[in-house]
Structure 1
Amino acid sequence: MSTVNPVAKLGAALALALCLVLTIDWVSASVALALELVALAFIRLPARVFWLRTLPVWVAAPLTGVTIALYGRTEGQVYLEFAFARVSEGSIALAIATVLRVLAIGLPAVVLFVTVDATELADGLAQRARLPARFVLGALAGMRLVSLFMDDWRSLERARRARGVSDAGRIRRLTGQVFALFVLSIRRGSSLATAMEARGFGAPVERTWARESPWGSREWLVLCAGLTIGLLALAAAVLTGRWNFFAGP
């Protein structure tokens, strides 16, 4: 799966997500999640990597469900009511559907991008998706700078301690350090933009690429797999009468 073009992975995740956001019901989400788990088994991702990368999704899904159960649409029997919260039969059903849908959308999106390199994604977006090279290269440069934020943060913290600025007032210290990091980021971004312009990255000519972004049968297979899972989930919701367009009546 690591050799598949990142644009194909992005397209598969988007196609699946677009299908699942059309309806919110437990049938379509369950069918999509079951088919995804079968497909993910063929990726052969190490179990430790899988659980570490998808942990935010497993945490966010139940929290979203609790919120929907407390403040979602009230239908049927009311089981619990306090303040602005009301737990009813309809809100619980909506919460279950939401949890399943978050998992069905989030898990494949995370797993598909575990092995994606930022440079390969930029090459694919420019060569295959035909996005403007200026925009793609600027976004790539910005992503490369994100990894420097922690180093800058630690450097600022040590420098402020050496000057005695961070001896007291934790909230005040944090606010000042965040502002200093913001200023430093703007300066570094401006310097990078100037350097890229000087090297001709923004020239109004057709750009050449050092690496070709391959596209073949594997990419089409990944795209079709994402779209097929989404369509099968929608078909299951329609056939079982659970179709619920945007949680409408």
Structure 2
Amino acid sequence: MSLLAANTRTRPGVVAQLNPVAKLAASAVIALPLIVTLDWVSAAVALALESVLFLFAGLRWREFWMRTWPVWLAAPLTALTIALYGAASGQVYVEWFVVRISEGSLTLAVATFFRVLAVALPSVVLFVTVDPTDLADGLAQVWHLPARFVLGALAGLRMVGLFLEDWRALELARRARGIADQSRIRRFAGMAFALLVLSIRRGSKLATAMEARGFGAPGRRTWARLSRFGRREWMLVAVGVAISAVSVSVAVAAGTWNFILGPR
């Protein structure tokens, strides 16, 4: 058992113990209405309801901020871009060269800010507690995806950590040879090419090993661990549906619902 698997299964949160497929489904259900609309009310309501769900994810506050800081950084930057260069409507407050800040662009900026947070945070928080092997078991056994595709993706994901270690080893080796003081672009290109060659060799060996162990054999395969999708998993999906329904209902009642895929 990997260290990641041990960590995900010993977390105190209720959500951390659920089937990863249920977390994937809940994230998709929450994100779907936020993708097809662009208004701040639905996104803000969804974000507020998601905050309650985060309390049961099994993350400490320090870990929560460490995991989600890119989202908190990307949301205001995206909103700033929309405010400066978004479609202008209503009263124009500032206009200079290509920058035009108007009432409509500020409204879109606020909506975009909450939208990015409401879509990205559940995905990050829920999948922090996901073990790749458990996710592969759920995709193959619960959703019945092709086993070759699932196992190939799992093997590739397991290689990410090795790639990082290889990159550090290459960097140390080049430094020991005294060729690490070249220009950054040239050094990066050389290390990237070396890592590509090393990855191809390792991938070929891995494919041969998996074929030798019967991973590509036809017929119905067995699984070492049974992936269960029970009442608690359905409850998590139902919570995701409830969050989406409440956010859409509040936006429609407030008159801010903006279906961006509809006819213009």
So what's the TM-score if we normalise by structure 2?
0.90
The 3-state SS of whatever aligns with 1:178 is: helix
Alignment of 1:38 onto 2:52: yes
In structure 2, the partner of 1:226 is 240
C-alpha displacement of 1:39? 2.3
Q: Which amino acid aligns with 1:233?
A: S
Alignment of 1:75 onto 2:93: no
- 1:196-235 mapped onto 2 (5 Å cutoff): 196-235=210-249
In structure 1, the partner of 2:101 is 87
Q: Which moved more, 1:180-189 or 1:156-165?
A: 156-165
The 3-state SS of whatever aligns with 1:113 is: helix
161, 165, 170: which one aligns with 1:151: 165
CA distance in 2, matches of 1:191, 1:87: 56
31, 34, 40: which one aligns with 1:26: 40
CA distance in 2, matches of 1:60, 1:167: 33
Alignment of 1:189 onto 2:206: no
CA distance in 2, matches of 1:36, 1:143: 28
Percent of residue pairs bearing the same amino acid type: 63
In structure 1, the partner of 2:4 is none
Q: Which moved more, 1:54-63 or 1:169-178?
A: 169-178
Instruction: Mark the CA change 1:219 to 1:86 in structure 2 (over 3 Å): closer, same or farther.
Output: same
C-alpha displacement of 1:52? 1.0
Q: Which moved more, 1:56-65 or 1:169-178?
A: 169-178
Deviation string for 1:59-82 (max 9, x for gaps)?
A: 111011011111111101111122
Aligned length: 249
Q: Which moved more, 1:171-180 or 1:35-44?
A: 35-44
Gaps of 5+ in 2: 1-14
Tell me if the contact between 1:24 and 1:247 (Cα under 8 Å) persists in the aligned partners.
no
C-alpha displacement of 1:27? 0.8
Q: Which amino acid aligns with 1:244?
A: N
Alignment of 1:66 onto 2:80: yes
Q: Which amino acid aligns with 1:182?
A: L
Q: Which has the higher contact order (CA 8 A, sep 6+)?
A: 1
Q: CA RMSD in A?
A: 1.5
In structure 2, the partner of 1:245 is 259
CA distance in 2, matches of 1:147, 1:44: 24
Deviation string for 1:60-113 (max 9, x for gaps)?
A: 110110111111111011111222221111011000000001111111111111
C-alpha displacement of 1:158? 2.4
Q: Which amino acid aligns with 1:78?
A: V
Tell me if the contact between 2:16 and 2:57 (Cα under 8 Å) persists in the aligned partners.
no
Q: Which amino acid aligns with 2:231?
A: S
C-alpha displacement of 1:160? 2.2
In structure 2, the partner of 1:161 is 175
